[in-house]
Amino acid sequence: MPELKTFFIESNQNINLKKINGNSLKKHFNIPTNSLVAFINSENLDTLCFILESKNNQNSIKLLSKLFLLSINKVYPELFDINGFCLSLNSIPLSTHLIYKTTHKSLFIYSIVLRTNKKTKLVAHSNIIPKDFSISVLNEFKTHYDDSLN
């Protein structure tokens, strides 16, 4: 697998995630394939989104998707439960996920619910701001991804 790049996009986006396909990172952010990007999406409601686009097959992208969830759980062990490919709290879903496979690329998308506390957006039921959450998770996932290649 090629080297993975990670990015946090500071500006809020308004992207219909159900219409995303191959080359979405290039199209929306001018970011190359084999990258994991995090951003706040305000399409329907505010969510923290993560998109990984790579040249992997369906099984590899599912494994990377699960590794992503485990990375979240490692950084924030008390914050979420993992049920299949979703994050939850007491069986209440707090995330959605999508996995796409095109002819040449695969991608996974995770959207985690954000809530507003006064004027600040926070991740799910926590007091963690989305940027801090994203950077911690991106770094943890990249570490596990790189470790699995060496």
Q: How many domains does the chain have?
A: 1
What confidence score (pLDDT) does residue 124 get? Answer: 92
Which residues, in sequence order, are bridge partners of residue 95? 112
Contact 34, 63 (CB under 8 A): no
DSSP state of 40: E
Give the domain range for residue 30: 5-149
What confidence score (pLDDT) does residue 127 get? Answer: 93
Strand 92-93 relative to strand 95-101, pairing = unpaired
What confidence score (pLDDT) does residue 91 get? Answer: 82
What confidence score (pLDDT) does residue 76 get? Answer: 94
What confidence score (pLDDT) does residue 44 get? Answer: 80
Parts of the chain with a pLDDT under 70: 1, 150
What confidence score (pLDDT) does residue 23 get? Answer: 76
> Mind giving me the DSSP string for 27-49?
HHH---SSEEEEEEE-SSS-EEE
User: How many CB atoms lie under 10 A from the CB of residue 46?
Assistant: 17
What confidence score (pLDDT) does residue 57 get? Answer: 77
What confidence score (pLDDT) does residue 43 get? Answer: 83
What confidence score (pLDDT) does residue 47 get? Answer: 95
Q: What is the CATH number of the domain that holds 56?
A: 3.30.930.10
Which of 104, 103, 112, 132 lies closest to 68, judged by CA? 112
What confidence score (pLDDT) does residue 150 get? Answer: 64
What confidence score (pLDDT) does residue 50 get? Answer: 97
